[in-house]
A and B are shown apart, each in its own frame.
Chain A
Amino acid sequence: MEKRRKSKGDNLVLRYLVLGSWALFCLVPILWFLSIGFRPRTEIITPEPIYWPTFSLDAWRLLLADWPIFDYLRNSVVAVAGSVVIDLILGIPAAYSLTRYEYRGRDDIGFYILSTRMMAPAIVAIPIFFLFRNMGLLDSVWALMLIYAAVNLSIVVWIIRSYMLDIPKELEDAARTDGAGDLRILWEVIIPACLPGIITASVIAAIFAINEFLFTLLIASTKSAYTMSVALANFTGGSDGVIYNAIALVSFLAFLPILVLIVLIQKHLSRGLTMGAVKG
């Protein structure tokens, strides 16, 4: 007994050590960004190591003065949030249909939906450009919203579907004999039971959308549609050459919304809400 507990403790130390080093490895670039972002420009380009950095808001001031960062952030948020909403409105019923209804070619349709994700996006880049130009949607946040939604729909459908497959059929049978119709069952039984799946799918879709580059570059041409991802790539720090501390700061700001999102919902990111529905 004593021995066993001890060996378990050793394992725990090892586990923290491994996870801790990995976390450090992942976090160092971000902390480095942060540190560069709040130091004066001159300090960054000196070749000697600096042990006691000086704190400075120069990069901040520069950024706020001549770079429309809030426009870009707003564009990102609007396009990403809108695309996730569209994905859920279309994806949840689609996933439900793929799991529960029996019809001809159901599995083929499911595979077709997934296969749209396997294609390299560059293949459709030019047709999409012409399509949106003809619709008069170039350089518009709404166009980006539609494109992000289209790109991510397949993943959203498949993630939600996999969660729905785990919901016991008995739950629906119970709701039906209790007097609920299809839409009621979807809304009151299925959606709450696969909420972790819906949240997971939304977060993944949001991350993909916020990092989307190719189509955004194609569609957006001014600050009225530039998102953080494209603006960041074009940003050099202004007219005075490449300013690294401003770039670091912008990178960090681009990363921040996703960090906040993940922290807020991480408890839902794991499965487990269906526990207690059936024995187990």
Chain B
Amino acid sequence: MARIELRNVVKRYGSFTGVRRMDLDIADEEFLVLLGPSGCGKTTTMRMIAGLEEPSEGEVVIGGEVVNEVDARDRDVAMVFQGYALYPNMSIYENIRFPLRMRGIGKADQDALIRRAAEMVELGDFLDRKPGALSGGQRQRAALARAVVRQPQVFLMDEPLSNLDAKLRSSMRVQIKHLQRQLRITTVYVTHDQIEAMTLADRIVIMEKGVIRQIGTPDEIYSDPADTFVAGFIGAPPMNLVEGRAENGRFTAPGLVAVCPPDISGRITLGVRPEDCRVVTDGPAELAGAVYGVEPTGETTYLTLRTGETLFEVKAARDARFDLGAPVKIGFDPERIYFFDTETGVRLRAQPQRSAA
């Protein structure tokens, strides 16, 4: 039960800067997801909150107290690791008991707490087993139980699901979210999987190369991306990004013509999500291309087109059938087109046009 703040935090390893000037305010009981590709500094950020790494500059504040000088074991945070990190020589019961023992919680209270934590993750029948005798999903749940058993101020989870298979991952995802809501403990969750981020987070922090690119709710990140990096990272399949030129309210690229706000010009990248495109049989369309590939997923069919040098993905009707190489025209939802500066990647927003001074 604590608010976490990072103030101007920097982490350097020799001449390499892992995290640069990071400011982050995590509300009490919030579920915050740090999302980014590997090497973006998300795990380092989490380890600084845990006290396993020391920031080179700046302050880490947990529950109103600057904890830079506080050792990891005194921070009252519980962490779940990618590799589970269960103690191999101890039974699951002893594993869950370990943090209670370390914190001097009386023997009399231990048993009830351990059984409650094990029940929460449905491991009640496995307490006598050693970690080696459990499946991956069970080990992950044992690691969760060890984290929840002592009701810490903060939960930290470092890619906890990345070693599980896809099916198990989605069921564990729901369990983690349920557990967090039930216990109301501030949680920081690191992942490179955007679906995990979207489904779990109250807010997502997207990082790249040690810098925060955008902070927002999943909906904000999805519908209002700040730059091409965020736009390309969120969504499956990701947003189509087409480089071209804009002049006099028209954006043009090979095979593509679209209306754009009149104050945007120069080298521009247009972005549109596959789900905001539709196949047009007759009538006006923004894009013309040839069918490059068709991927039915059951729920829908993804159509990949080739226009000029770029591949462009469109979400089509579930029963849509196309021949390879056939010409197809695509229309965009005009409300859902994004423009970015090609040079910097920054999102360009139309100036409010009718804003009479």
Which A residues are closer than 8 A to B by beta carbons?
168, 170-171, 173-181, 184, 188-189, 192-193, 195, 273-279
Contacts and interface: CB of A to CB of B under 8 A. Distances in A.
A125 B350 CA distance: 88
B163 interface: yes
4 cross-chain pairs, A with B, having the tightest CB-CB distances, nearest first: A276-B132, A179-B102, A192-B89, A278-B83
Nearest to A168: B83
A170 B89 contact: no
A177 B77 contact: yes
B160 to A, nearest CB: 12
Contacts of A173: 47, 50, 52, 72, 79, 81, 85
A227 B75 CA distance: 55
B82 interface: yes
Interface in B67-125: 71-75, 77-79, 81-90, 98-99, 102-103
A174 B79 contact: yes
B168 interface: no
Contacts of B232: none
Interface stretch (B133-141, B197-205, B237-245, B304-312): B133-141
Given A179-B103, A278-B84, 9 more contacts: A173-B81, A174-B85, A174-B146, A176-B52, A176-B72, A177-B79, A277-B85, A279-B136, A279-B139
Nearest to B79: A177
Contacts of A276: 86, 88, 130-134, 139
Given A179-B99, A179-B103, A276-B130, A192 B87 contact: yes
A274 B163 contact: no
Nearest to A174: B85
Contacts of B52: 173, 176-177
A184 B99 CA distance: 12
20 contacts: A171-B85, A173-B47, A173-B52, A173-B79, A174-B86, A176-B72, A176-B73, A177-B72, A177-B75, A177-B79, A178-B146, A188-B87, A189-B87, A192-B89, A193-B87, A193-B89, A276-B130, A276-B131, A276-B134, A277-B86
B146 A170 contact: no
Which residue, A174, A180, A188, has most C-beta atoms of chain B within 10 A? A174
A76 to B, nearest CB: 32
Interface in B172-212: none
B34 to A, nearest CB: 17
A277 B102 contact: no
Contacts of B73: 176-181
A229 B84 CA distance: 49
A274 B88 contact: yes
Contact of B88 (A175, A179, A273, A279): A273
Given A179-B103, A180-B73, A273 B84 contact: no
B83 A279 contact: yes
B288 to A, nearest CB: 48
A174 B81 contact: yes
Contacts of A181: 73
B130 to A, nearest CB: 6
A184 B73 CA distance: 12
Contacts of B134: 276
Contacts of B71: 176
Given A192-B89, A274-B88, A279-B163, A178 B102 contact: yes
A168 B83 CA distance: 9
Given A189-B87, A192-B87, A178 B130 contact: no
Contacts of A178: 73, 78, 98-99, 102, 146
Nearest to A172: B85
Nearest to A170: B85
Nearest to A189: B87
B87 A279 contact: no
A174 B158 CA distance: 11
B235 to A, nearest CB: 29
B265 to A, nearest CB: 52
Contacts of A273: 88-89
A274 B98 CA distance: 18
Contact of A195 (B79, B89, B90, B163): B89
B89 A177 contact: no
A246 B245 CA distance: 101
A32 B103 CA distance: 61
A277 B131 contact: yes
A170 B52 CA distance: 10
Contacts of A192: 87-90
Contact of B50 (A171, A175, A177, A188): A177
Contacts of A180: 73, 98, 102
Contacts of B82: 170
Which residue, B77, B84, B133, has most C-beta atoms of chain A within 10 A? B84
A179 B99 CA distance: 6
A192 B86 CA distance: 13
Contacts of A189: 87
Nearest to A276: B132
B98 A175 contact: yes
Contacts of A275: 88, 132
Contacts of B85: 168, 170-171, 173-174, 277-278
Contacts of B132: 275-276
Contacts of B81: 170, 173-174
A221 B90 CA distance: 49
Nearest to B149: A178
Contacts of B74: 179
A134 B212 CA distance: 69
B21 to A, nearest CB: 25
